């Protein structure tokens, strides 16, 4: 029979006791302690040799963990079941039975065990910050205090769904130029390593009459055919070096600043960070989360170190008794009109509602910016590919025409 290590406080004497007891499951162990007149503070299974073996095998299991789509589905189902009057413990058990991801199922069962031991749902999910971020936890905690759990879960699900849709659009807009650029690179390499070498025999012995584009490309083609491995290693080194660099503090700052200043993409990324920051802040304030906690979470979720620094500065200013608008006026990241509307929301006491309206506007601006980026990238990349292929074709055709003129002359 499984054993459980417990810590409990006696209801009459108030004395705290700790020990180990045997029970069929965590619910039975908690019920046994309550029957003995104890209030359960902590309850956890005692690992045995079999559990240790299972953990070792689990560490060798490469099954992917739950994604944000899994969290969205879980939150939506939980909201529906709670609204239907099903208890939280039963809802968690029912959802976990339908989960196919073994890691996520294990996490839900662990959360259910924490609920059975007397913990709040917000406290149970706080153990998994990679799945349930600070916004999720704080909104759940606020709903536990106000008694609007199901309604808050609906708001959380809507927020996660919108963030996933936004991320999908941004990634799609970012991948498109990468694919076109990759095709342009592949076509160029193919022409230089497979097409141009076929013309070396034609141009052999006539190097003095070849134009400089042909000489340049023939030399580049010979070098790539002879030292192709340097090209491959160089490309891989650039890719790895880029990701290693942006993982550093300096590199992250440079990359986040570049996204806000580079032509064509700056409008899209700025709308993304403004929309995400203001939507997060509005959701938390409307959920009843304190202002200081809201500002700290908003900075962490913004996704850009410059915006994070801005919200951290606002956090410090508000902690000193100043208004949000006073600190935002010193930053150039938010438009003046947005700062003015935030100030008006502070004065009227409707800051959460104002932030939601602004975030909806910038969500639409983000969609428009993504459409503009994708519509402009296509002709730019077509012109770029056409220029590269045209230059190579010109370098091949020009000497042929020149030699034919010499022969006819």
- Assess if residue 63 is contained within a domain: no
- Assess if residue 287 is contained within a domain: yes
Say if residues 276 and 362 touch (Cβ distance below 8 Å): no
pLDDT at residue 48, as a whole number: 55
Q: Indicate whether 197 and 139 sit together in one domain.
A: no
- Exposed / middle / buried, residue 213 (Cβ in 10 Å: 0-12, 13-18, 19+): middle
Would you tell me how many other CB atoms lie within 10 Å of the CB of residue 103?
16
Q: Indicate whether 144 and 169 sit together in one domain.
A: no
The CA distance from 262 to 259, in Å, is 6
Q: Indicate whether 238 and 101 sit together in one domain.
A: no
Of 117 and 5, more confident: 117
3-state secondary structure of 298: helix
pLDDT at residue 59, as a whole number: 42
3-state secondary structure of 50: helix
- Assess if residue 116 is contained within a domain: yes
Tell me the mean pLDDT in the region 158-170.
Answer: 84
Residue-wise pLDDT for 30-63, tens only, equals 777 777 877 766 666 665 544 444 444 344 344 4
Q: Indicate whether 278 and 294 sit together in one domain.
A: yes
CA distance to 185, 200, 208, 228, 392, per residue, from 215 (Å): 21, 10, 10, 19, 11
Tell me the mean pLDDT in the region 166-171.
Answer: 80
Helices (H), ranges, 247-304: 249-261, 266-287, 291-301
Q: Which of 160, 185, 207 is the last residue of a domain?
A: 160
How many structural domains are present in the chain?
3
The boundaries of the domain holding residue 200 are: 161-409
Measured in whole angstroms, the distance separating CA 327 from the mean position of its chain's CA atoms is: 27
Token pair 């899209």: residue:
268
Evaluate if residue 14 carries a pLDDT over 70.
no
Residue-wise pLDDT for 190-229, tens only, equals 888 888 888 777 777 776 777 888 888 888 888 888 888 8
pLDDT at residue 168, as a whole number: 84
Of 107 and 18, more confident: 107
Please provide the average confidence, as pLDDT, over all residues in the chain.
82
- Using only C-alpha atoms, the chain has a radius of gyration, in whole angstroms, of 31
Residue-wise pLDDT for 272-311, tens only, equals 899 888 988 888 888 888 888 889 888 888 889 999 999 9
Residue 406 banded pLDDT, cuts 50, 70, 90: low
The CA distance from 23 to 1, in Å, is 6
| Tokens at 279, concatenated | 């939507």
What are φ and ψ of residue 349, in 5° steps? 75, 15
Q: Indicate whether 73 and 127 sit together in one domain.
A: yes
Of 99 and 402, more confident: 99
CA distance to 66, 92, 225, 247, 271, per residue, from 254 (Å): 31, 44, 36, 11, 19
Would you tell me how many other CB atoms lie within 10 Å of the CB of residue 322?
12
264: Cα within 13 Å, side-chain hemisphere = 10
- Assess if residue 348 is contained within a domain: yes
Measured in whole angstroms, the distance separating CA 51 from the mean position of its chain's CA atoms is: 33
The CA distance from 209 to 409, in Å, is 14
CATH at 77: 1.20.81.30
Give the full edge-to-edge strand order of the sheet including 38-45. 16-22, 3-10, 38-45
Residue 407 banded pLDDT, cuts 50, 70, 90: low
CA distance to 16, 246, 274, per residue, from 286 (Å): 39, 35, 18
- Assess if residue 181 is contained within a domain: yes
pLDDT at residue 62, as a whole number: 40
pLDDT at residue 240, as a whole number: 94
Tell me the mean pLDDT in the region 142-151.
Answer: 81
Q: Indicate whether 272 and 361 sit together in one domain.
A: yes
- Assess if residue 83 is contained within a domain: yes
């Amino acid at each position: 029979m499984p054993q459980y290590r417990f810590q409990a406080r006696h209801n009459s004497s108030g004395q705290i006791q700790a020990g180990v007891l045997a029970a069929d499951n965590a619910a039975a162990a908690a019920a046994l302690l309550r029957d003995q007149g104890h209030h359960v503070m902590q309850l956890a299974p005692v690992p045995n040799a079999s559990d240790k073996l299972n953990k070792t095998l689990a560490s060798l299991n490469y099954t992917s963990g739950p994604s944000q789509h899994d969290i969205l589905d879980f939150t939506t189902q939980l909201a529906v079941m709670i609204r239907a009057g099903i208890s939280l413990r039963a809802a968690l058990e029912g959802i976990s039975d339908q989960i196919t991801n073994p890691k996520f199922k294990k996490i839900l069962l662990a959360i259910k065990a924490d609920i059975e031991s007397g913990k709040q749902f917000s406290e149970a999910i706080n153990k998994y910050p990679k799945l349930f971020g600070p916004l999720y936890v704080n909104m759940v905690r606020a709903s536990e205090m106000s008694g609007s759990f199901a309604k808050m879960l609906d708001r959380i699900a809507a927020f996660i769904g919108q963030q996933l849709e936004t991320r999908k659009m941004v990634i799609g807009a970012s991948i498109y130029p990468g694919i076109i650029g990759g095709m342009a690179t592949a076509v160029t390499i193919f022409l230089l390593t497979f097409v141009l070498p076929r013309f070396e025999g034609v141009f052999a012995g006539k190097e003095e009459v070849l134009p400089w584009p042909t000489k340049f490309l023939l030399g580049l083609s010979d070098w790539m055919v002879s030292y192709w491995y340097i090209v491959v290693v160089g490309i891989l080194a650039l890719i790895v070096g880029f990701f290693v660099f942006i993982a550093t503090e300096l590199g992250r700052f440079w990359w986040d600043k570049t996204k806000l200043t580079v032509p064509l993409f700056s409008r899209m990324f700025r709308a993304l960070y403004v929309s995400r920051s203001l939507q997060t802040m509005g959701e938390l304030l409307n959920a009843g989360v304190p202002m200081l906690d809201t500002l700290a979470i908003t900075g962490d979720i913004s996704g850009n170190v410059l915006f994070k620094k801005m919200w951290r500065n606002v956090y410090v200013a508000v902690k000193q008794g100043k208004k949000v608008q006073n600190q935002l006026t010193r930053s150039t990241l938010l438009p003046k009109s947005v700062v003015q509307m935030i100030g008006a929301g502070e004065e009227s006491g409707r800051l959460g509602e104002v932030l939601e309206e602004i975030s909806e506007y910038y969500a639409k601006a983000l969609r428009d910016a993504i459409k503009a980026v994708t519509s402009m990238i296509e002709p730019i990349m077509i012109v770029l590919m056409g220029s590269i292929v045209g230059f190579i074709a010109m370098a091949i055709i020009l000497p042929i025409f020149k030699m034919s003129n010499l022969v006819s002359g």
